[in-house]
């Protein structure tokens, strides 16, 4: 690992393109921000997935992640996909509600790791 470890969030479009990114200030938190909510709303028609890193783990969605995911799905009127990225793996919750380790990993995963200081 190199650089400063920090949580990072990517908004992902239908082709796997990163539509927007947000870098947190710490290794264990990505504080709520008006700018992120505005970015989500502005991209709501093309947004398919929201990914964020857990630089020190775990490979799991936190209780806060789960409540935020439910709020986003309710606000948008449809389920999104969600991912947690660690140094070794990507955990994905699909829009259909299935949670699995992503294999193969999404094309944007290395960029999220790099932005998080994991590479």
| Residue that wins the pLDDT comparison between 1 and 114 | 114
Does residue 63 belong to any structural domain of this protein?
yes
Query: What pLDDT is stored for residue 92 in this prediction?
Result: 97
Residue 62 DSSP one-character state: -
Q: Which domain holds residue 107?
A: 8-115
Task: Indicate the average pLDDT of the chain.
Answer: 94
Confidence of residue 83 (pLDDT cuts 50, 70, 90): very high
Does residue 104 belong to any structural domain of this protein?
yes
pLDDT, tens digit, 9 for 90 and up, residues 13-23: 999 999 999 99
Does residue 3 belong to any structural domain of this protein?
no
Question: What are the φ and ψ backbone dihedral angles of 81, each rounded to 5 degrees?
Answer: -95, 155
Confidence of residue 1 (pLDDT cuts 50, 70, 90): low
Q: Report if pTM > 0.85.
A: yes
Burial 81-104 (b: 16+ CB within 10 A, else e): bbbbbbbeebbbbeeeeeeeeeee
Does residue 2 belong to any structural domain of this protein?
no
> Is the torsion defined by CA of 14, 18, 22, 27 positive or negative?
positive
Does residue 100 belong to any structural domain of this protein?
yes
Q: What is the mean pLDDT of residues 11-37?
A: 91
Q: Which residues pair with 85 in a beta bridge?
A: 53, 90
Distance CA 14, CA 5 (A): 28
Does residue 99 belong to any structural domain of this protein?
yes
How many domains in the chain?
Answer: 1
Length of the chain as a residue count: 119
Under 8 Å between Cβ of 108 and 76: no
Q: What is the mean pLDDT of residues 24-53?
A: 92
Query: What pLDDT is stored for residue 29 in this prediction?
Result: 82
CATH of the domain at 31: 3.40.140
Does residue 73 belong to any structural domain of this protein?
yes
């Amino acid at each position: 690992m190199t650089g400063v470890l920090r949580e990072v969030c990517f908004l992902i479009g239908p082709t796997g393109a990163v539509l927007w990114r947000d870098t947190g200030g710490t290794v264990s938190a990505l504080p709520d921000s008006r700018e992120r909510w505005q970015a989500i709303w502005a991209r709501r028609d093309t947004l398919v997935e929201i990914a964020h890193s857990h630089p020190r783990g775990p490979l799991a969605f936190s209780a806060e992640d789960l409540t935020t995911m439910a709020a986003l799905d309710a606000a948008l009127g449809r389920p999104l996909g969600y991912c947690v990225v660690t140094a070794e793996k990507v955990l994905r919750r699909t829009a259909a509600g299935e949670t699995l380790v992503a294999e193969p990993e999404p094309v944007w995963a290395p960029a999220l790791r790099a932005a998080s200081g994991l590479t």
